[in-house]
């Protein structure tokens, strides 16, 4: 019983001090994310089936990487999907941090070969905001 009280106090202190937190994307601001998406919209559309240089992002959450119909992906992106990469808040966050190394890791390489020339979003807040926007705009 004493151990349980101590454990509960430790959890309460951790939460109160902020050392236990939700993932950054849980706090994203969709309105700010729409502005961040300006970096993406020349190549990606949010309408189902409408592609540009890159694939449509509509319905991307829960979709296997490299599997949007009507778009020809790089072999490495398709291989990442074949190895089980599915787009979620967590995987999108990691991908948007450094796209080529993320895809490379997914297939056992240092860097993946992808068509996208974008180098990534350094700020966690930008990634959280764009994920919040994409969740709202692509469902």
∠ CA 132-134-139, nearest 5°, is 115
Total-model pTM: 0.79
Q: What is the pLDDT of residue 3?
A: 36
Q: What is the pLDDT of residue 26?
A: 61
Concatenate the DSSP letters of all residues of the chain into one string: -HHHHHHHHHHHHHHHHT-S---GGGG--HHHHHHHGGGTTTT---STT--SSS---TT-TTPBTT--TT----HHHHHHHHTT-B--HHHHHHHHHSHHHHHHHHHTSSS---S--------HHHHHHHHHHHHHH--
Helix (H/G/I), strand (E/B), else coil: 64: strand
Give the residue-averaged pLDDT of 33-47.
95
Q: What is the pLDDT of residue 101?
A: 96
Distance CA 110, CA 35 (A): 31
CB 22 within 8 A of CB 93: no
pLDDT in tens, 5-28: 333 333 333 333 333 334 555 689
Distance CA 122, CA 12 (A): 32
pLDDT in tens, 67-79: 998 899 999 999 9
Give the residue-averaged pLDDT of 27-37.
95
Residue 87: phi, psi to the nearest 5? -75, 120
Q: Which fold has domain 24-137?
A: Cytochrome Bc1 Complex; Chain D, domain 2 (1.10.760)
Domain boundaries, the chain: 24-137
pLDDT: is 100 or 9 the higher one? 100
Q: What is the pLDDT of residue 82?
A: 97
- Of 2-16, 19-33, 107-121, give the lowest mean pLDDT range: 2-16
- pLDDT of 98 higher than 70: yes
């Amino acid at each position: 019983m004493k151990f349980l009280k101590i454990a509960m106090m430790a959890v309460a202190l951790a939460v109160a001090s902020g050392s236990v937190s939700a993932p950054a994307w849980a706090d994203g601001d969709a309105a700010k994310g729409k502005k961040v998406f300006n970096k993406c919209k020349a190549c990606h559309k949010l309408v189902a089936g409408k592609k540009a240089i890159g694939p449509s992002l509509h319905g991307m959450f829960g979709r296997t990487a490299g599997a949007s119909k009507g778009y020809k992906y790089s072999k490495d992106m398709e291989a990442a999907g074949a190895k089980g990469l599915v787009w979620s808040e967590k995987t999108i966050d990691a991908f948007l941090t450094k796209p080529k190394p993320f895809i490379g890791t997914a297939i056992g390489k240092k860097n993946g070969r992808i068509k996208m020339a974008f180098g990534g979003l350094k700020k966690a807040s930008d990634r959280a905001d764009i994920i919040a926007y994409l969740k709202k705009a692509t469902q």
